[in-house]
């Protein structure tokens, strides 16, 4: 990702205006460092879009992580870094390793975000349980980053994805400090806020996210709450699914199966 602005960058107001129009033949929204507006007839040839284009009002994205299936390989982190040109030592998604001793001591590590996975290590402790926890932006419905942005650069799209208008962002880092999940950072080149976008440029073309596509065990899934028979929606309705820091009432749309009480 470079500091050069895309000549087709659109503002939050323009984005919402287009979204409100629904399936007009105007455009599809992509994310490649900036929110970019491109012609549906020229820039997305071959994309599996519904006739008339992508309508964000007909989707509501939900995300699921199955901790019991995560093996800490880091394939998701590498896929995200490559897909979104994430700068070195910064992460839009990362994986943490939890090791809990039988006496209740909790050790957490995430070497370079688990970009290259985890090496086995001797802790010297009598470990009762150990597991891996993938993390990312929770795309909250009641998100403090959107509420505290002084210039309206952080916003929620009609399909529930929290995004950043790179043209409007002034790099004040208020949103970085406001996020209780540590999912935002200031890009070292653009000096604007950066975060997981759920690969919005892929979702609007009928594709899944890079992290979901590259997870070898199916530990990550993305669904659509408005889609009939959606797998993730059914899991959320029938299984013991939890969210991180529920006491904050941010209403996260990132959900976990097998979430242990030690995870924070």
Which tokens is 85 given?
């040109």
Over 70: is that where the pLDDT of 19 sits? Answer: no
C-alpha torsion sign, points 154, 75, 84, 115:
positive
Q: Measure the CA–CA gap between 140 and 258, rounded to whole angstroms.
A: 20
Q: Is residue 103 part of a domain?
A: yes
**Domain containing 117: what range?**
62-139+202-257
Q: Measure the CA–CA gap between 207 and 103, rounded to whole angstroms.
A: 45
CATH of the domain at 82: 3.30.70.20
Q: Is residue 69 part of a domain?
A: yes
pLDDT at 121: 85
Tell me, rounded to whole angstroms, the distance of Cα 23 from its chain centroid.
25
Q: Is residue 83 part of a domain?
A: yes
Q: Is 90 helix (H, G, I), strand (E, B) or coil?
A: coil
Q: DSSP state, 4?
A: P
Q: Is residue 130 part of a domain?
A: yes
pTM of the model: 0.81
Segment 166-224, tens digit of pLDDT: 999 999 999 999 999 999 999 999 999 999 999 999 999 999 999 999 999 999 999 99
Q: Measure the CA–CA gap between 239 and 10, rounded to whole angstroms.
A: 40
Q: Domain total for the chain?
A: 1
Segment 76-131, tens digit of pLDDT: 999 999 999 999 999 999 999 999 999 999 999 999 999 999 999 887 779 999 99
Which tokens is 5 given?
């602005």
Q: Is residue 191 part of a domain?
A: no
Q: Is residue 32 part of a domain?
A: no
Q: Is 61 helix (H, G, I), strand (E, B) or coil?
A: strand
**Nearest residue to 35 via CA among 225, 168, 172, 179:** 168
Q: Is residue 84 part of a domain?
A: yes
Q: Is residue 42 part of a domain?
A: no
Q: What is the mean pLDDT of the chain?
A: 85
């Amino acid at each position: 990702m470079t500091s050069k602005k895309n000549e087709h960058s659109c503002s939050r107001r323009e984005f919402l205006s287009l979204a409100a129009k629904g399936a007009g033949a105007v455009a599809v929204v992509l994310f490649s460092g900036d929110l970019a507006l491109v012609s549906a007839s020229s820039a997305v040839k071959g994309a599996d879009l519904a006739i008339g284009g992508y309508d964000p009002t007909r989707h509501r994205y939900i995300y699921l992580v199955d901790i019991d299936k995560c093996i800490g390989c880091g394939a998701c982190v590498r896929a995200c870094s490559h897909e979104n040109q994430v700068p070195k030592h910064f992460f839009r998604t990362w994986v943490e390793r939890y090791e809990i001793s039988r006496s209740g001591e909790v050790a957490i590590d995430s070497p370079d975000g688990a970009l290259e996975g985890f090496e086995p290590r001797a802790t010297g402790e009598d470990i009762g349980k150990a597991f891996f926890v993938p993390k990312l932006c929770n795309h909250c419905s009641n998100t403090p980053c959107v509420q505290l942005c002084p210039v309206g650069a952080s916003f929620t799209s009609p399909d529930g994805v929290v995004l950043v208008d790179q043209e409007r962002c002034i790099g004040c880092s208020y949103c970085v400090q406001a996020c209780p999940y540590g999912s935002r950072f200031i890009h070292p080149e653009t000096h604007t806020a950066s975060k997981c976008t759920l690969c919005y440029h892929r979702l609007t073309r009928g594709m899944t996210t890079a992290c979901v596509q590259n997870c070898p065990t199916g530990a990550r899934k993305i669904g659509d709450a408005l889609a009939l028979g959606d797998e993730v929606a059914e899991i959320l309705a029938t299984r013991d699914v939890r969210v991180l820091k529920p006491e904050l009432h941010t209403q996260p749309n990132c959900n976990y199966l097998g979430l242990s009480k030690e995870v924070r």
